[in-house]
Amino acid sequence: MSVANGFEYLERLRDFFYSLAELRDRLKERGFKWPRPYSADGVRTGTVKVKVGFPAMLRNGVIMDVTNVEQAQIAEDAGAVGVMVLDKLPYDVRKAGGVARMADLKVIEEVMSHITIPVSAKVRIGHYYEAFLLEEAGVDLIDESEVLTPVDEQHHINKWVFSVPFVNGCRELCEALRRISEGASMIRSKGEAGTGNVAEAVKHFKTLYTAINELNAARRAGEEERLRDYARQCQVPLELVALTAEMGRLPVITFAAGGIATPADAALMMWLGADGIFVGSGIFKSQDPKERAEAIVLATARWDDPEAVVEAQRMVSERTAMAGIDVKTLKPEELLQTRGV
Amino acid sequence: MKVGVLALQGDVEEHEQAFRKAGEELGVGVDVVKVKEGRQLGDLKALAIPGGESTAIGLLARRYLEKLRDAVAGGLPTLGTCAGAILMAKEVRDSAVGETGQPILGVMDIAVVRNAFGRQRDSFELDVEVERFGTLRAVFIRAPAIVRVWGGARPIARLKHPRAGEVVAAAQEDSMLATAFHPELTTAAMHKYLLELARGRA
């Protein structure tokens, strides 16, 4: 189903947030340009159509984590629809410990000047200023990510105030709807980043779609109370729940992320309903990044054609895949997915 | 009527929906096929090449680029939006990187500059006057600009942009339409025209 169906409601929701005058004034004092003015010739930037429409162009594509220009070029040549610039790959973040922050602006800018595909970067949950810096630098998509160390345990960024689109992680529907009501233009599963283990992403997608299908059935059966209860339970607007129930999917593009390491992993997530794939450590922590990148692109684009997926899987060898981490061996405090719900 | 959307990467579902809506408005039964293989092109009456990343689409289509080129150049009514327009153009450059050397179809007498209006934060919407279609709400997402039109192609929409200046937003050459923006996100008018072209041919 087309995400264009959700534009109208999301625009109303955006207007609602815009009309919260108190918040607007507070942010104005902090230097945010909000709302952005019309330019003289009617050119309007940062609108819902532009922000939610952009991820729609990434459909059936792969966004790859990279740490430098060489990796970004490998990603572009392999047919990636975007790169995510990081200081360390999630696997290394996990190993290094300490505080994980936004990537080096110089590296991000260098990557932007060398490739033609969109460049994304991660900010810490709740870190308005990292986001502000990335918007100024011209990053195309911001990931408010649990892989980095959160700075606000209570709140995420109000993403309506930015003209650059945001993607947020979720483990289930309520979390996804809260992020959308905060202005996220795209959702991804959290999975368990840096493990090379796709199990958590599978769990999160199944949980997400089970809930959506239940709401969809409730709506068709005219059980409006169920939708109301759900909205209350999730603390999100009823209209957003109703829209999701009606569309039978999230009203924004939904990618799979967290532990995807092989072409078969990517095809599996597409089959489970993902619109596209984020690959973190899976490519550049393997010993065959070039072939693996191409193979995952092929398996994502052609996931519904078994022959193509077989061909993709043949392009790589299990011996060169990243060594995974079993999620069950991680201590609760080592889990990234529980950050920022 | 069997129509196709090139379904390798990009906003395929949005084009499918636009085709279906166009069919409903015209009262024509439309069967929309996701085109992933060259052999699916044979019995199509119209084709949409979606928005997306033109590099990714070009790489994924490289095995049947020739077939696709023959079909489109051979008169299959085709609409290319954004990345689709880039693939149809004979000349492609990128505003930051310059020569891209990417695989393209190269079927229309137009030259495009990728990311001509800036990065995603500069993506915009605007009412654009399009010949035959009237005023359309046009959404430009990391859009290319058509900077030169020659030979058989002619501009059908223009726009003035604070940074890129006056550029062509849409062009037509015979039964080929290329738009820098995404009509599929806001209207079915151009898909309707494709169906009409297809009906005229049949």
pLDDT tens profile B99-127:
888 999 999 999 999 999 999 999 999 99
Q: What pLDDT sits at residue A23?
A: 66
CA-based nearest residue to A263, from A298, A216, A238, A236: A298
Mean pLDDT of B7-11: 96
Nearest neighbour of B126 by CB, restricted to A44, A57, A112: A44
What is the C-alpha to C-alpha distance for residues B6 and A265, in angstroms, rounded to an integer? Answer: 24
Helix (H, G, I), strand (E, B) or coil at A297: helix
At A291-304, the pLDDT tens digits run: 999 999 999 999 99
Q: Which of B81, B115, B141 to mutate to test the interface with A (most CBs of A within 10 A)?
A: B141
ipTM for the predicted complex comes to 0.94
| Per-position DSSP letters for A226-245, written without gaps between them | HHHHHHHHHTS-HHHHHHHH
Residue type at position A316: V
Q: Which long-range contacts (CB under 8 A, 24 or more apart) does B122-126 make?
A: B122/A45, B122/B163, B123/A45, B123/A50, B123/A53, B123/A54, B124/A43, B124/A44, B124/A45, B124/A47, B124/A50, B125/A44, B125/A47, B125/A49, B125/A50, B126/A41, B126/A42, B126/A43, B126/A44, B126/B159
The residues in A 133-172 lying below 8 A from B, measured between CB atoms, are 135, 138-141, 163-165
Q: Is A335 a member of any domain?
A: no
Q: Is A38 a member of any domain?
A: yes
Domain assignment of residue B177, given as a range: 2-201
Chain B nearest CA to A121, separation (Å): 13
Please state the domain count of chain B: 1
Q: Half-sphere exposure (CA, 13 Å, Cβ side) for A3?
A: 26
Instruction: Give the global pTM.
Output: 0.93
Query: A-B interface: how many C-beta pairs under 8 angstroms?
Result: 151
Domain assignment of residue A322, given as a range: 3-326
Give contacts of A49 with chain B, Cβ < 8 Å.
Answer: 125, 139, 185-186
At B36-70, the pLDDT tens digits run: 988 999 899 999 999 999 999 999 999 889 999 99
- What CATH number corresponds to the domain at position A235? 3.20.20.70
Give contacts of B16 with chain A, Cβ < 8 Å.
Answer: 2
Q: What pLDDT sits at residue A65?
A: 96
Asked if A261 contacts A322 with a C-beta cutoff of 8 angstroms, the reply is yes
What is the C-alpha to C-alpha distance for residues A157 and A128, in angstroms, rounded to an integer? Answer: 6
Q: The tokens of B18 are what?
A: 């636009």
Q: Are strands B2-6 and B165-173 parallel, antiparallel or unpaired?
A: unpaired
Q: What pLDDT sits at residue A313?
A: 95
Q: Is A340 a member of any domain?
A: no
Q: Is A307 a member of any domain?
A: yes
The total of other beta-carbon atoms located within 10 Å of residue B31's CB is: 13
At B71-90, the pLDDT tens digits run: 999 999 999 999 999 999 99
Give contacts of A44 with chain B, Cβ < 8 Å.
Answer: 124-126
Please state the domain count of chain A: 1
Mean pLDDT of B176-187: 97
CB contact under 8 A, A60 and B55: no
- What CATH number corresponds to the domain at position B39? 3.40.50.880
Q: What pLDDT sits at residue A340?
A: 86
Q: What pLDDT sits at residue A29?
A: 76
Q: Half-sphere exposure (CA, 13 Å, Cβ side) for A321?
A: 23
What is the C-alpha to C-alpha distance for residues A259 and A196, in angstroms, rounded to an integer? Answer: 4
Q: What pLDDT sits at residue A245?
A: 96
Q: Which residues of chain A have pLDDT under 70?
A: 19-24, 32-40
Mean pLDDT of B136-153: 96
Cα distances (Å, whole numbers) of residue A314 to A46, A100, A301, A307: 42, 35, 16, 11
Active-site choice (B14, B82, B161, B173): B82
B154 CB-contact burial (10 Å; exposed 0-12 / middle 13-18 / buried 19+): middle
What is the C-alpha to C-alpha distance for residues A308 and B189, in angstroms, rounded to an integer? Answer: 35
Q: Half-sphere exposure (CA, 13 Å, Cβ side) for A102?
A: 25
A268: which DSSP letter?
H
Q: What pLDDT sits at residue A133?
A: 95
